[in-house]
Amino acid sequence: MFDFDPTDLPPVVQTTLDYAAQGKELALSWLLSPAAWSQFALLILAYLAARFVSKRFVPRLEVWLRPAEGATGLLSEARGFIALFLPLSLALLAYLFTGIGEAVTRSIFGSGAVIALGKRVFLLLAAQALVKDIIRDPFLKLLGKYVLLPVMGLYVLGLLGPVETWLAVTEVGAGNIRFSLMSLVRGLIAGVLLFWFGRWSTGRSRSYIGKQEELRPATRELAVKASEVFIFGVGFLLLMNIMGINLSALAVLGGAIGVGLGFGLQKIASNFISGIILLLEGQATVGDYVELDGGEAGTIVKMTARAAILETYDGKWIVVPNEDFITTRVVNYSDSGSANRYEAPFSVSYDTDINKVPSIIEAAVAQLDFVLSEPDGPDCELRGFGDSGVDFCVEFWVNGIDDGRNKFTPKVLFAIWNALKDNGIEIPYPHRVVEIKGADLKLSGQGAETL
């Protein structure tokens, strides 16, 4: 076949030429074989039949599967999920009809290589439709484009078996752990899929658990963390099993991780355990407004395995390690909607009958719709005698935090101002009386006029 000696060529080129020669001989045998032509005819017939069935019945099936607008429920979601795969119908029907034709051909001619190749081509077309029309997740689409389709291409050409054999016999190792390239590739693909599925599962479980309003916020957060640990733990065990790695071989690696936790990862381990303690005890959870010794204050919007995220009322996010909630003093203003007491200080003139002030202010503050009567109504107290006036303070209870969206104290101060003005009570301002003792001063000229 060749005008030169193929043994002088590199091994890769020799292998390629061998496959080319085999392909040429196979193509010639198919062109001269009546059985091959009959299989080609069956392939065309199977495709036409699949096209007819797909065009006739799939639109009706799609109308039936598509859930009504606004419909909810498990059955509607299941029907909608099945409807997503309708673009595969043509290729899968052709694959099914080709399989029937292959059985007929093998029973008559004793061979079915041509129709088997066509069946694999239809399966490749189904995989291409899956990646192009069905998968919407960017990560899965990338995985299908660069992993699934090349594998299907090797399967169609009949090269998947030899490639698997070569990957299986080629081994790599790290220390006492040795595994084949096939295990590495299989583990890489499975690991990527398991990680994506784990992220998707945790997102779904978080959404479901978050809707259980009868559970306390801390209990819901603990359930979410437990589900995440369970899902990723099962995924890790499955990945080790898929790669064929004996878990007992990881004992050395586990010891190294233990040493790392004792030194470099000590803080991470401490924060992780502190987060579990916080969730179990419910001392602080999502929705609480807290203030730490370090000055950090805000509403807890998220609790992760390492830290809690506080959102201040000016829109900033503060990441606070979980350990700080255990080892330092934390002021928790309790869950959203709980009652808190605040004070509004003010002063009146010394000319005022101070005995009337408490009743006037308490009545004015009590009229505000956000001021609570329980556990106690407004309480106006005399606090002291200042330099410019008599100091008072009114205490009041409200639901929520006096900051950000809820500015309670300014409204109370407005009510105090209006009540004092309506009752003719003067609010003092700072002033000083200067008395000069000593000899009489003689002032003349410009200085006297200035004085």
Indicate whether 244 and 327 sit together in one domain: no
Exposed (0-12), middle (13-18) or buried (19+): which is 278, by Cβ within 10 Å?
buried
- With 90 as the cut, is the pLDDT of residue 54 above it? no
Residues of the chain with pLDDT > 90, as a percent, come to 6
Q: Across the chain, what does the average pLDDT equal?
A: 75
The structural domain count of the chain equals 4
Indicate the pLDDT class of residue 380, thresholds 50, 70 and 90.
Answer: very high
**Whether pLDDT at 309 is above 60:** yes
Q: Region 252-267: what's the mean pLDDT?
A: 62
Task: State which of 99-103, 242-246, 301-305, 358-362 shows the largest mean pLDDT.
Answer: 358-362
Q: What are phi and psi of 447, to 5 degrees?
A: -65, -40
| Residues 258 and 315 placed together within one structural domain of the fold | no
Output 442 or 244, whichever has higher pLDDT: 244
What is the pLDDT at residue 77? 67
Look at residue 301 in the predicted model and tell me its pLDDT: 81
Instruction: Name the nearest CA neighbour of 285 among 209, 219, 215.
Output: 219
In this structure, the answer to whether residues 209 and 250 fall within a common structural domain is: yes
Q: Using pLDDT thresholds of 50, 70 and 90, give the confidence band for residue 415.
A: very high
At position 33, the amino acid (one-letter code) is: S
- pTM of the predicted model, to two decimals? 0.44
Query: End of a domain among 244, 264, 284?
Result: 264
Per-position b or e across 207-234, b if 16+ CB within 10 A of its CB = eebeeeeeeebbbbbbbbbebbeebbee
Indicate if 81 and 103 belong to the same structural domain.
yes
Whether residue 301 is contained in a domain is answered as yes
Predicted confidence at residue 259, as pLDDT, reads: 63
Per-residue pLDDT tens digits for 186-219: 777 777 777 777 777 777 777 777 777 766 666 6
More confident residue, 206 or 356: 356
Answer yes or no: is 18 within a domain: no
User: 319 and 378 share a domain?
Assistant: no
Q: Give pLDDT tens digits for 295-305.
A: 778 888 887 77
**Per-residue confidence (pLDDT) for residue 391, from 0 to 100:** 92
CATH number at residue 307: 2.30.30.60
CA distances from 157 to 32, 119, 334, 385 (A): 21, 12, 66, 97
Determine the Cα–Cα distance for residues 207 and 385; give it in Å rounded to an integer. 57
Judge whether residue 343 has pLDDT over 80. Answer: yes
Any domain includes 347: yes
The answer to whether residues 129 and 154 belong to one domain is yes
52 and 107 fall within a common domain: yes
* Mean pLDDT along residues 231-237: 76
* Predicted pLDDT of residue 394: 92
Measured from the Cβ of residue 119, the count of other Cβ atoms closer than 10 Å reads 22
Higher-pLDDT residue of 30 and 89 is 89
Please tell me whether residues 38 and 153 are part of one structural domain: yes
Distance (Å, rounded) from C-alpha 370 to C-alpha 397?
9
- Expressed as residue numbers, the domain containing 130 is 33-158
Q: Do residues 315 and 397 share a domain?
A: no
- Say if 186 falls within a structural domain: yes
Tens digit of each residue's pLDDT (9 = 90 or more) over 421-431: 999 888 888 76
pLDDT band at 448 (very low <50, low <70, confident <90, very high): very low
d(C-alpha 215, C-alpha 194), whole Å = 30
Q: Are residues 53 and 139 in the same domain?
A: yes
Is residue 132 in a domain?
yes
Residues 402 and 343 occupy one common structural domain: yes
Classify strands 171-174 and 339-348 as parallel, antiparallel or unpaired: unpaired
Assess whether pLDDT exceeds 50 at residue 449: no
Note the pLDDT of residue 314.
76
Tens of pLDDT, residues 84-141 = 777 778 788 888 888 777 777 777 666 666 777 778 888 888 888 888 877 777 777 7
Report if residue 432 sits inside a domain.
no
Q: Could you tell me the CATH number of the domain that includes residue 371? A: 3.30.70.100
Residues 93 and 136 in one domain: yes
Task: Characterize the bridge pairing of strands 330-332 and 317-321.
Answer: unpaired
pLDDT band at 416 (very low <50, low <70, confident <90, very high): very high
* Closest alpha carbon to 80 in 134, 130, 132: 134
Domain endpoint, select from 158, 190, 220: 158
Q: Is residue 184 part of a domain?
A: yes
Question: Which pLDDT value is given to residue 322?
Answer: 83
Q: Of the ranges 41-55, 236-250, 332-346, 437-451, which one carries the lowest mean pLDDT score?
A: 437-451
Is 428 within a domain?
no
**CA distances from residue 429 to 361, 386, 414 in whole angstroms, order as listed:** 19, 11, 17
Question: What percentage of the chain reaches a pLDDT higher than 70?
Answer: 71
pLDDT in tens, 138-151: 777 787 788 878 88
Of 228, 244, 264, which one is at a domain's C-terminal end? 264
